[in-house]
Structure 1
Amino acid sequence: MLQRDGLSLSSLTMPFAAHWTRVMENSLDWPHLPFVHRRTIRDALPYRPDSRLDIAWEDRPWGGRTSTTIDGVAQPITLDYRFPNTMHLHLPAGRRIFELILTVLPVDDTTTHMIMVTVRDFLRSRLFDLYFGRGSRRSAARIGPSSRRPCRERSHPPARSVRSAPTSPRCGSASSTATA
């Protein structure tokens, strides 16, 4: 994806006072998208409080791809989980490319750095990097005050004790579906 000609990238790095698995989990949470990020991707995921959201998981060699249906209608937005610490959101933009890639990097048991990159093939002037960077910063800031406030080491498990998704007995098969 990133090696294609004609793409512009905007990025930001943001620290979080949280264990990296908490930040990663939040980035993979489908139901919060149309509410927390309503100014940026609401139209891509028309979910309402009374809707039924079904999430399908498809195993991939690098992790998994999730897709959704809302009230039985398949949605064009997909989210890739690239094991163990990257999320790649594919946003429908007509014939245009607009993607968001987020990687979380653990610093220690209570500190994480998040790197967020937006990829697009429109509004490619460097002037628009400020716009996309500012929008990404606002979206990241909405991740939640609990992730950004100082935390105590005991409130998060040591990184070595966290079971990864592929080894967790709670993970489903390629056809598993979750309902929110």
Structure 2
Amino acid sequence: MFVPSEHWYPVLQSRELGRKPLGVERFGRRLVFWRTEDGRAHAHPDRCPHLGAQLSRGAVDRDCLSCPFHGFAFDAQGQCRRIPAIGRQGKIPKGMALEAFAVREAHGLLWLWWGAPREVYPELPFFPELDDGWRYGTETVEWPVHYTRAIENQLDVAHLPFVHRTTIGAGGRSLVEGPYIESDDHGIRVWVTNAADVGQSPRTLAELATAAAGAPPGLHFRFPALWLLNLGERQKNMIAFVPVNESTTRYYLRFYHRVRNPLLARPLEFIMGLSNRFILNQDRRVVVTQTPRDSAHAEQDRLIGADRAIIEFRRWHRHMRDMPPAPIAMPATER
């Protein structure tokens, strides 16, 4: 049900994981995240291999994750280090181990590698323009939708005057010029203009390409799950889409800005957070009604030119679904 591709996915905000184990559902699986004493994050299935208890209800003890049921202790690589019932001299069975996922932490997010383990992992996907000099406030929401529909909603440039007619779509600008898009192995960049329809002919893609040269895209999607809206040189919105299960997607919606004074920055983040939540909720009312849930199965959809970014996303998504998994080079526990 999820893309069987080789990618880093954002799965949590860093601040959500403290010293206690945290159990969450991601990709339709129950996972446990925890930190060792050095602060590094680790992830495993949230199930003790002994009798199936949730490890997230246990504790971290001497850089091991201990099961609350019988005290079995597992290290960051998933190896069982203690079974109290057999004593210190007892021999731990070889099969008493946990799967360990590759985890990274950057940009205030925890990232999990979803795919076959690799000897060398690629860099994390992010937007380099957000690396330095920015503050941000985050809103967290969950929708009962498949992550493909959540992403496509943010690549849809034709719905604004209808879904958002009282907010960002005010003015009835229903004529879509473009979008002109560029894509590569990293993502999709979108340039578009929405105008009031007074009978004019929209600009051609060649004209839009000329206008886009040297200009930052209005929308930028980084595979597999990051979206950026360019509000200007000093303000941007970003969404990290987190697949929870087949019918749920979590949004980490961030408002980035360059206001350094905290007395001004915090009220700005609060106001923009409320605004972004309200606008996103306008989308929600429609997106939850789309069928089928997973757009990979929406062969009956009839797309138009204004859907070029969605078409490109579906092309990439279909390609990644059809790719065979990479050969396993080494255990995922080798970080």
TM over 0.5: yes
Q: Assess if the C-alpha contact under 8 Å between 1:84 and 1:164 holds in 2.
A: no
- How many Å separate the matches in 1 of 2:238 and 2:193? 22
Pair member with larger Rg: 2
Higher strand share: 1
- Tell me: CA distance 1:141–1:58, structure 2 relative to 1, closer, same or farther (3 Å): same
Aligned length, in residue pairs: 158
Question: How far did 1:165 drift?
Answer: 3.3
Equivalent-residue separation in structure 1 for 2:253 and 2:244 (angstroms): 16
Q: Quick check: 1:13–1:116 contact (8 Å CA) kept in 2?
A: yes
- Name 1:80's counterpart in structure 2: 220
Equivalent in the alignment of 1:67: 191
Counterpart for residue 130 of structure 2: 2
* Contact 2:148–2:295 (Cα < 8 Å) also in 1: no
- Aligned residue in 2 for 1:26: 153
TM-score between the two structures when normalised by the length of structure 1: 0.70
What is the aligned partner in structure 1 of residue 62 from structure 2? none
Cα distance in 1, alignment partners of residues 146 and 287 from structure 2? 9
1:11-160 paired onto structure 2 within 5 Å: 11-37=138-164, 41=168, 48-49=173-174, 51-70=175-194, 71-72=202-203, 74=211, 78-92=218-232, 96-122=233-259, 124-148=264-288, 155-157=292-294
In the superposition, the TM-score normalised over structure 2's length comes to 0.40
CA contact (8 A) 2:143 2:284 kept: no
- Structure 2: which 5+ runs fail to align? 1-128, 195-201, 299-312, 320-335
Unaligned runs of 5+ in 1: 170-180
CA shift for structure 1 position 2: 3.0
Change (3 A) 1:165 1:105: farther
Q: CA deviation at 1:20?
A: 0.9
Report the RMSD for the aligned CA atoms in angstroms. 3.4
CA contact (8 A) 2:176 2:192 kept: no
